[in-house]
Amino acid sequence: MARRFGDRKDGALLRNLDGIHFITPIIYPNRADNEAFISERIDLTNIDAYLEKKNAEGPEYRYNLFQLLVTAALKTITLRPKLNRFIANRNTYQRNEVSCSFVVKKQFSDRGAEALAFIHAKDSDTLESVHQEIYRQITSRRSEDSNSVDRSTDNMDMFNRMPRWLGKAIVRFICFLDRHGWVPADLVATDPYYSSVVLTNLGSIGLHAGYHHLTNWGTNSVFIIIGERKKRPYFDDEGNVTMRDSVDIGLTVDERIADGYYCSKTIRLLKKLLDQPELLERPLSEEVEY
């Protein structure tokens, strides 16, 4: 689709919104002031069985829960495109691509450096291709010098080395560019807040899932936190209890991009994909009944 006047390089301006979605960004312009937090508990029974089967085939890089969650998030946003909208400078845009980002810890130590992984999804992607891309990016980041930093971090350090007044003035100017979508691509190439969804796997470091804020910088409208794996009680209709492995996830969403009903159906789809992970073997754009 040809780019039209008013579009950004990363998104198309939505020109036919209903009245409330046109007015809301004008009277509530800040993303961080319009957060809706959703907490969900995922039963891992089917996921564990699926992963055991997949890993029995002896892949070079084992399949794990995080890869399933990344793929499920990408497929959910692909099929629920309002979650791939963002608001900037009081305008609403449809993002040009579905993408996700996450932090890679190079070493599990207090001094271990962090790097950012960024996945640009395609409609034809499946769990297999996402699995391979995650493997490529994690091995690439961890093979770098443990003291190296990604480009975005290096750029921030550059401003910090300037005289304070000059650094602050340049950063304020860049914030102006950010509002209009004019930040040079190489400055934000690995910036997680320019992706469709940011994921953080706190369970890998023994922490609970919980709320994480959005930011007014960038275009990110969805943040997902993955908590630690634990056995938790589940009750059937008769009140009988069983202990099952589960994981809590927290989702923070910019509530201006979609109404509550749309978000509710989106969560239903995400849970369907995680309850039936074999659906993730199909292309991201293939429809799912839910």
What SS3 string covers 9-55? CCEEECCCCCHHHHHHHHHCCCHHHCEEEEEEEEECHHHHHHHHHHH
- Rounded distance between C-alpha atoms, residue 42 and residue 139, angstroms: 28
DSSP characters over 150-214: -HHHHHHHHHHHS-HHHHHHHHHHHHHHHHHT-S-HHHHTT-GGGSSEEEEEGGGGT--------
* Structural domains for the chain: 30-150+190-281 (3.30.559.10)
137-194 pLDDT tens trace: 888 776 665 444 555 556 667 777 888 889 889 889 999 999 999 999 888 888 899 9
Residues of the chain with pLDDT under 70: 1, 105-114, 142-156
pLDDT score for 108? 47
The answer to whether the beta carbons of residues 123 and 283 sit under 8 Å apart is yes
Report, in angstroms and rounded to the nearest whole number, the Rg of the chain calculated over CA atoms.
20
The answer to whether the beta carbons of residues 178 and 217 sit under 8 Å apart is yes
Q: Which residue has the tokens 């301006």?
A: 13
The answer to whether the beta carbons of residues 79 and 289 sit under 8 Å apart is no
Residue 8, beta-bridge partner list: 11
pLDDT score for 153? 59
pLDDT score for 2? 78
